[in-house]
């Protein structure tokens, strides 16, 4: 298992208690994301070459990307608006309002510039639309050879399996908060590989990690069996094949 360094992430803005708790709980995951983005940016020549990055689902990581990449990086975001407490004014160059669940309908697609890196952290599982549709749209956001970094929970993690053995549903109820409905669907590493390849991406790396506190026994089991770890990060590279929307299929 890749060792993670516990990093305290400071925030200048006044956060609500729930937001502070979320930031503290996910800080090791955010540190991992930041390291991955810096690694991919270096492959594109940053800081000598300006980097263009799109963050889908702007959140705390967006601000960290800006701090790390500096003012000369172009950072755009896509999705719903987020509170200024989380993504302060001036962090993002352009925010594009778009619901990825609309991706089956090509006439709703929006025009965006292409980027060197697109980050999609903890978004996959919140979408009820088939990945075939939204991955074909996300390809249009990337330059040929650009990287897509996806972070999402592991649908078959140890905790999920133990929950099933106890006779419980391992997934929470879909929430009544329309702007934050929770998880519709989680994925395995093999599912993500399949979706990526069908959308004409090259799979460059797949990493399973644990960023959260766990028991000694659980940690040992997951160290021995990586497929039981809680989080998946997969790096995909856009091929030179032309972008092609998936035709809308009606039952």
Q: Is residue 12 part of a domain?
A: no
5 belongs to a structural domain: no
57 token code pair = 């689902």
Residue 93 belongs to domain with CATH number: 3.40.50.150
pLDDT per residue as tens, the chain (251 positions): 444 434 457 776 788 898 899 999 999 999 999 999 999 999 998 888 899 999 999 999 999 999 999 988 999 999 987 788 899 989 999 999 999 999 999 999 999 999 999 999 999 999 999 999 999 999 999 999 999 999 999 999 999 999 999 999 998 889 998 878 899 999 999 999 999 999 999 999 999 999 988 899 999 999 999 999 999 999 999 999 989 888 888 87
Residue 1 lies in a domain: no
What pLDDT score was predicted for residue 178?
Answer: 83
Q: Residue 243: inside a domain, yes or no?
A: no
Question: Per the domain annotation, does 3 fall within a domain?
Answer: no
Q: What is residue 5's predicted lDDT score, i.e. its pLDDT?
A: 39
Query: Considering the domain boundaries, does residue 59 fall inside one?
Result: yes
Pairing of strands 231-238, 142-153: antiparallel
Number of domains in the chain: 1
The reported pTM is: 0.92
Domain that residue 162 falls in: 17-238
Query: Considering the domain boundaries, does residue 245 fall inside one?
Result: no
- Whether 84 maps to a domain, the answer reads yes
């Amino acid at each position: 298992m890749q060792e993670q360094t516990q990093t305290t992430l400071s925030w200048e803005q006044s956060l609500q208690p729930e937001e502070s708790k979320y930031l503290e709980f996910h800080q090791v995951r955010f540190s991992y994301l930041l390291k991955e983005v810096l690694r991919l940016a270096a492959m594109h020549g940053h800081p000598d070459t300006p980097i263009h990055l799109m963050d889908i689902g702007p959140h705390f990581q967006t601000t960290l990307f800006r701090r790390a990449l500096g003012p000369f990086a172009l950072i755009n975001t896509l999705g719903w608006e987020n509170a200024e407490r989380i993504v302060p004014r001036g962090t993002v160059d352009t925010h594009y309002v778009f619901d990825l669940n609309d991706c089956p309908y090509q006439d709703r697609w929006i025009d965006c510039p292409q980027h060197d890196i697109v980050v999609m952290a903890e978004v996959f599982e919140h979408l009820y639309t088939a990945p075939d549709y939204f991955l074909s749209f996300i390809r249009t956001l990337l330059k040929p050879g650009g990287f897509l970094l996806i972070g999402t929970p592991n649908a078959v993690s140890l905790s999920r399996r133990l929950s099933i053995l106890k006779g419980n549903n391992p997934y929470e109820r879909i929430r009544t908060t329309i702007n934050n409905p929770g998880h519709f669907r989680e994925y395995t590493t093999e599912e993500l590989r399949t979706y990526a390849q069908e959308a004409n991406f090259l799979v460059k790396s797949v990493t399973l990690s644990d960023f959260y506190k766990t028991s000694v026994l659980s940690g040992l089991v997951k160290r021995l069996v990586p497929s039981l770890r809680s989080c998946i990060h997969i790096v995909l590279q856009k091929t030179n094949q032309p972008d092609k929307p998936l035709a809308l299929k009606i039952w």
